[in-house]
Amino acid sequence: MNIAIFGDSFANGESDMKRHNAHLGLTQYLMDDGHFVVNFSRQGNTNQGVIDDYPFHLRQNEHLKFDIALVFQTEACRDSSSETTSIREMETVVIKEFYSDLKKSQDIYNIPIYLIGGTADTLSPDVIKECGLKCACQSLVNLCVNGDHLIEEPTTNFVFYGKDDSLDINLITADDKEYFLKSIEMGDDRYKLMGDNPEYFAPMENFTRGAKHENNHPNRYAYKKLFDHLKSEGIV
């Protein structure tokens, strides 16, 4: 199977925090399983960035004849703008627009898109299905920590946004403010959850470079869990 991967740093693989990967992550496990893989993900990417990357790379590489595309979802707040009327809208309309734009590209290139909740969880698989896409893994973090890719209350925002980061969000009602504070808390809890589970979110020591970094990104063991899940679901 020929597989394209898109997303942010959660799709990159295990970084050595320099200029290389200590392990190629999901890409490596897929290649070891006999698949041809091209990873188009970019560190710090946004969902809108994925929308731009997808048609660009597929148009330039139609000769590779990809069978599926795996897309890692990131935080909705990376795409926030002054046009967003409320935090609730940002977490529903903006994400659904992301899915809608992906569906348009899927229809053009006729390559099935499977969503993976990476930095941020996806919306429910039912919502993704309604949008014409497929959910491969709603939450990589929950899969690693609790053994289930599904999560009742997904974390879609503010995992890597700190208190000092600038956000352009209109908090119109008391409900908006309450929901905003809850989203911030959920993002902070998610960040801490990764820190509390270094077996999946602290890269292995790279014996050639000896580099380590904070336990806030998946390591090879997290990617192995994801690969095993995709395999068990018959996706790869």
CATH label of the domain that carries residue 40: 3.40.50
Single-letter residue type at 71: V
> Could you give the CA distance from residue 80 to residue 84 in angstroms, rounded to a whole number?
7
* pLDDT at site 147: 97
Per the structure block, which two tokens stand in for 222? Answer: 């997290």
Instruction: Name the DSSP letter for residue 67.
Output: S
Q: What is the pLDDT of residues 155-200, one digit of tens each?
A: 988 777 654 455 555 555 566 778 777 888 888 889 889 989 989 9
CA angle, corner 11, sides to 106 and 221, nearest 5? 130
pLDDT of 214 reads 55
Residue with tokens 């734009």: 101
- Report pLDDT digits (tens) over 33-62: 999 999 999 988 999 999 999 999 999 999
Which pTM does this prediction carry?
Answer: 0.88
73 pLDDT above the threshold of 90: yes
* Confidence band, pLDDT 50/70/90 cuts, at residue 213: very low
The total number of structural domains that make up the chain? 1
- DSSP assignment letter at 121: -
Residue-level pLDDT at 149: 98
Is the pLDDT reported for residue 142 higher than 90?
A: yes
What is the span of the domain harbouring residue 209? 2-232
pLDDT at 208: 38
Mean pLDDT in residue range 222-235: 98
